[in-house]
Amino acid sequence: MFNFRWVVRYISEMTQEEFIQKAGETRAKAVSVAGRFGCSQDDAEDIAQDVMLRLWNLRGQLNDASHLGASAAIIARRACIDRWRTVHQHREISDAMPIADEDTLHDRLEYAELEQWLNDEIDRLPSTSAMVLRMRQLERRELSEIADILGIRQTSVSTLLSRARNELLNKLKRRNRQ
């Protein structure tokens, strides 16, 4: 994790005018970074506001403000990535299935068979992988929340989720080749 200890000493020595000046420069840097990540002007302003709030909340852990712009850029970059991930959340498994034209009996049967096949394949996954996949995809839980529930590390949750998705994808590819 990024070490913010270097800002507090400088902030405690700053006058109000210096703080206002540094905050303006820092906010401009955050807006600039968000803009380079393809955010709209409104989203960039929101991200800059989040950056300023995070820096304010971290002021007790900061020792030196000489790299305040760099920290703002890092926080803004991470906020942009988080926002992108939120917008591009994984869809539910049922949403990811091809939408069948349910006008014909054949299409309805094919769709129902595909859905049943997918549920059976998820059931065949190792129990932890199946639980992680269901909690993430169907219940839309955060990785940290899943880790807390299962009592494992968040990186382990990510690994299990990735393996489960890859295994299902490979099985689906094999099924479609037949």
Residue 100 predicted with pLDDT over 50: no
Residue 166 has a pLDDT of 92
pLDDT at 6 over 50: no
Amino acid at site 157: V
Tell me the average pLDDT across 60-66. Answer: 60
DSSP 8-state symbol, 61: G
Does residue 163 surpass a pLDDT of 60? yes
Angstrom distances, CA of residue 178 to CA of 121, 171, 174, 175: 16, 11, 7, 6
- Residue 162's φ and ψ, nearest 5 degrees, are -65, -45
Element (H, E) at 25: helix 16-36
Q: What is the pLDDT of residue 9?
A: 44
Confidence at 64, pLDDT banded by 50, 70, 90: low
Percent pLDDT > 90 in the chain is 16
21: Cα separation from own chain's centroid:
32
Average pLDDT of the chain to the nearest whole number: 78
